[in-house]
Structure 1
Amino acid sequence: MMRLLPLLAAFLLAAPASAQTAPPQPVRADPAFTLRLGELIAILNGGGDYAGYFTPAFQEKVPQAMLQSVTAQLIAANGKPLAILGVTQETPWRANIRVQYEKAVANVLLVADPAPPHRVGGLLVRGFESAEKTLPQVESALAALPGDIGYAIAKLGSGAPQPLAGRNADKPYAIGSAFKLVILAELVRATNAGERKWDDLVTLDGGMLPGGGYTMKPKGTQVTLRELATQMISISDNSATDILLQHLGRAKVEAMMPVLGIADPARNRPFLGTLDVFRLKGVAGLGDRYLALDEAGRRKLLEGEVAGIPPILIDATSFTRKIPNRIDTLEWFETPNDLVRVMDWLRRNTEGMAGTDARRILSTNPGVSPDVRGKWQWIGYKGGSEPGVMNMTLLLQARNGDWYVVTGSWNDVQKAVDESRFASLIGKAAELTAP
């Protein structure tokens, strides 16, 4: 919910910085690299010669037990790795590899040491593509997931969004950090109206904040609205989010919800900050008391007792143990069609030079694999997750200039959701939606 959505399952990348840029001409793999490539499937299956395959530096950072734990998680989510589908060689010692798993295709970066005995110093699983080949197959796979799934795919234009596909598109779901799009929208409205500027400075007051890049900053530190918004959207920084919510004003953010087309704004009033939710979920009895009150009573409790609770008193057990915690009552709720309308509003209100900052912020973290990105001219993204909750929402501009939204939410009150599988399916839906 309050962290960067983990779209990529990564072991480690311990490759030299000089190897990051691919050469302009095609290259051949060194024969020794090809031998290491031939051993990769065994390694990804949790076997192989660990000591003989990896460099000492890799082994120090990723002990064998850790590697086996990660490979086991990947296999549990995607089935066993079966074969190499393709290799794109960047240098004789570095390549991007597509690996067929039973349920998906992994994008893997492999880097070998040019010095004998040419062991592997970098291994990164960059993400998974679903094995589904058509949009109906993706929709069937989404419908088969446990728990409750809702999604919407729509084409945007001068009028209302045009639905192309969907399931439970008017049903509200917990959306995790995707709620931060509403805060961004209020900032866009305020800058468009001339009430604020992206370069306006916020002075930190030393108040309590959730975890994030500004939590330990000294009182008096100044930061621009642009920087706060960038951190809130690109890495889902919770401290930046709560600073913006406080600075822009809870009432102003709440007023944006009907403007954006959120069908039931009352369900998200009072509009909670991230530390509010942590406190309500993590302090015994507090959530029950909050939920028993009407809106006026909830505001009074938030502004009084809740605001004074130090983060050290919050029990984070449900998050560390990945146990869903009140995801049907203490969260932020929007329907898939709500999120389509939110992204459509952001599209329409960030056109031209005035929208440069907002679109750059939205596109900093595209949320999908390079293969999916390659299908589109521009991608804006925000997602969110907590145990039992995942959302991915993409604003997409096609190469012909047309605009689309692909959004999906998965809630399961019983157990944590399979984030990798969901990400691969939404990514595939985005890929297949491209005209």
Structure 2
Amino acid sequence: MRSVSGIILALIAATPVAAQTTATAPPTASGPAQPSPEFRQRLEEIVPLLNGGGEYSATFAPAFVAAVPKAAFDGFNTQFATTGGKALRIKSVMPVTPWSANIVIAYERGDATAQIIVDPQGTHQVTGLRITGMSAREASLSEIDAQLAKLPGRTGFALARLDTTGPRLLTARGSDATFAIGSEFKLVILAELIRQIESGARHWTDTISLDGRPLPGGAYTAAALGTAISLYDVAEKMISVSDNSATDILLRTLGRDKVEAMLKVVGIRDPKGMQPFLGPLEVFKLKGSPLGARWGALDIKARRALLDGEIAAMPNDAIDKKLFVDGKPVLIETLEWYASPADMIRVMDWLRRHTETGPAARARALLAKNPGAGADASARWAYLGYKGGSEPGVIAMTFLGQAKDGNWYAMSASWNDPTAAVDDLRFSSLMSRAVELAAPQ
């Protein structure tokens, strides 16, 4: 399973060009930065390259080209062109130093935000280019929802104001329908951690000692036996970059039974959609073996027995190495974590109410570290928290925002298609625009 940890950030992190930054920007000079003439020249070369022209090896430094071959760059451009159309121009430049800037690239059907770094030495080639988001151009939330409704498969969308009496839906279509939600399930684990911290049973500085049990891919997969990590660090990785190894560690530490008990507490109306509460490695084992085909027909008791028996005993190397490689959905209607957009809004509301004061308040920083939207969208809010998730055939995105007038809102959308991979970038660009439009003016 993949996870959407930003409007485009995590989705495109799998595409080398978006993740690649082969040099560090020089320190910011005192006073407003002004782009150097050489920087401006390189900037003019970017749009032609995004449209398949230009001289790739002349614009980009050798280290960048080695890390991001032109074929990979072209593949990225094809993905963006499918959603945004042709790149038209550099719409705006916000210099950080004379040799680096945050930029907005206008496409035919949207605006992409990016960061660019140029080498101040030698021939002044581009050493870093990171596309961090794309926002669609729809003019209203109703237009956004109309576009979501046209996507193949099923979609649901909801926006609510979070009042003292609970969420009050402002916009809703399919808001109570159940969807596979990918890594959004990690918000429930965070909620149980918050509950334990509120009660004084645990503290952010408490440490977990790795016990050597197998983990899914992530920051801690290859960590040495006995490595000590703080609860805060594990939770931060689980939420901000949706680290699967951190998720399994935290789920084991808090207890599956306690996390399951939180489902109704945080507002999941039909907890059966997440019972037993699966960890990422268990899902990989199930989907990557013949055992997954049995899951949907089993009752909860039999599912627990399967997890404690055959799944627990299965080594990681027994997981099909080709799982998800072809981009096709795998059992998303029977083997996933399930919730509705309205459920996820209630989850965010619970998190908001239980992080207002006290030690649990640090959790808001976790949710906001990767706000899930570009700088322009985020700037419209006093606070913006986010969690999303995706795998082939699944994408879901949920936001928690405090408007500049002090009022709170939550917005959630899901898209499932059991027959084909969903267009992550198209969905993300629509939701990025929705974040902008939902902000009270």
TM range (shorter): over 0.9
Task: Show the counterpart of 1:239.
Answer: 245
Partner Cα distance (2:244, 2:116) in 1: 33
Residues 300-379 of structure 1: pairs in structure 2 closer than 5 A: 300-379=305-384
Q: CA distance change for structure 1 residues 265 and 49 in 2, over 3 Å: closer, same or farther? A: same
Aligned counterpart for 1:192 among listed residues 190, 198, 212: 198
The match for 2:258 among 231, 252, 255 is 252
Query: Contact 1:5–1:385 at 8 Å: present in 2 too?
Result: no
Contact 1:232 1:240 in 2 (8 A): yes
1:169 to 172, 175, 188: 175
Alpha-carbon spacing, 1:15–1:199, altered in 2? closer, same or farther (3 Å): closer
Quote the Cα distance in structure 1 between the aligned partners of 2:344 and 2:221.
29
- Does the aligned pair in 2 maintain the 1:327–1:388 contact within 8 Å? yes
Match of 2:422 in 1: 417
Please tell me whether residue 107 in structure 1 is matched to residue 113 in structure 2.
Answer: yes
Contact 2:33/2:98 (8 A) holds in 1: no
Once residues 38 and 197 of structure 1 are traced to their aligned partners in structure 2, the CA distance between those partners, rounded to angstroms, is 51
- Contact 1:23-1:90 at 8 Å conserved across structures: no
Matched, 1:24 2:31: yes
Contact 2:61/2:125 (<8 A) preserved: yes
d(CA) in 2 for partners of 1:316 and 1:164? 44
TM-score (norm 2): 0.93
Match for residue 277 of structure 1 among 256, 267, 283: 283
What letter matches 1:17 in structure 2? A
Instruction: Describe the shift of the 1:324–1:247 C-alpha distance in structure 2 as closer, same or farther (beyond 3 A).
Output: same
Change beyond 3 A, Cα 1:164–1:64: same
* Counterpart for residue 91 of structure 1: 97
Deviations 1:249-270 (Å, cap 9, x if unpaired)?
1111111111111110022211
The 2-side partners of 1:360 and 1:252 are apart by 24
Cα distance change of structure 1 residues 103 and 193 upon mapping to structure 2, 3 Å threshold: same
1:156 to 138, 159, 162: 162
Q: Distance in 1 between matches of 2:321 and 2:226?
A: 29
**Divergent runs of 4+, >6 A:** none
Helix, strand or coil at the partner of 1:146: coil
Separation of aligned partners in 2, 1:50 and 1:224:
44
Matches of 1:203 and 1:49, distance apart in 2: 51
From 406, 411, 433, the counterpart of 2:411: 406
Does the aligned pair in 1 maintain the 2:5–2:370 contact within 8 Å?
Answer: no
Residue 30 to residue 219, structure 1, CA distance change in 2 (3 Å) = closer
Letter in 2 for 1:334: A
Aligned residues: 432
C-alpha spacing 1:316/1:149, structure 2 compared with 1 (3 Å): farther
Identity %: 48
TM-score normalized by the length of structure 1: 0.94
Tell me the distance in 1 between the aligned counterparts of 2:252 and 2:122.
57
Check 1:48–1:197 CA distance in 2 against 1; reply closer, same or farther (3 A cut).
same
1:65 lines up with 2:105 in the alignment: no
Output the amino acid matched with 1:24. G
Q: 2:269 aligns with which of 257, 263, 278?
A: 263
Question: Partner of 1:239: helix, strand, or coil?
Answer: helix
Q: CA deviation at 1:11?
A: 6.0
CA 1:169/1:34 → structure 2, altered by over 3 Å: closer, same or farther?
Answer: same
Task: String of CA shifts for 1:62-84, please: whole Å, max 9, x gaps.
Answer: 22222222222221232111223
3-state DSSP class of the match of 1:149? strand
Q: 1:428 to 1:4 in 2, by over 3 A?
A: closer
Distance in 2 separating the partners of 1:36 and 1:415: 39
Is 1:82–2:68 an aligned residue pair? no
Which residue in the other structure is 2:235 paired with? Answer: 229
Matched residue type, 1:51: S
In 1: Cα distance, 2:29 partner to 2:427 partner: 30
Contact 1:406–1:426 (CA under 8 A) maintained in structure 2: no
In the aligned structure 1, how far is the partner of 2:61 from the partner of 2:311?
Answer: 51
The DSSP-based 3-state class of the residue aligned with 1:405 is: strand
Check 1:110–1:201 CA distance in 2 against 1; reply closer, same or farther (3 A cut): closer
How much has 1:426 moved relative to structure 2? Answer: 1.1
Counterpart position of 1:208: 214
Note the C-alpha offset of 1:26. Answer: 5.1
Q: Bigger shift: 162-171 or 42-51?
A: 42-51
The secondary structure found in structure 1 opposite 2:26 is helix
- Report the Cα distance in structure 1 between the residues aligned to 2:126 and 2:251, rounded to whole angstroms: 46
* Worse-superposed segment, 244-253 or 349-358: 349-358
Q: Check 1:321–1:222 CA distance in 2 against 1; reply closer, same or farther (3 A cut).
A: same
In the alignment, the residues of structure 1 paired with residue 29 and residue 342 of structure 2 have an alpha-carbon distance, to the nearest angstrom, of 41
Q: Which moved more, 1:247-256 or 1:82-91?
A: 82-91
- Ranges in structure 2 where 5+ consecutive residues have no aligned partner: 13-17
The CA distance in 2 between the partners of 1:196 and 1:43, in whole Å, is: 52
**Cα distance in structure 1, aligned partners of 2:398 and 2:236:** 17
Once the two structures are superposed, residues 28-87 of structure 1 have per-residue CA deviations (whole angstroms, 9 ceiling, x without a partner) of x33333333333221110111223322333323222222222222221232111223222
- Say if 1:347 and 1:45 are closer, same or farther in 2 by CA, change over 3 A: same
SS in 2 for 1:326: coil
What is the distance in 1 between the residues matched to 2:211 and 2:19? 39
Range moving further from structure 2, 190-199 or 405-414 = 190-199
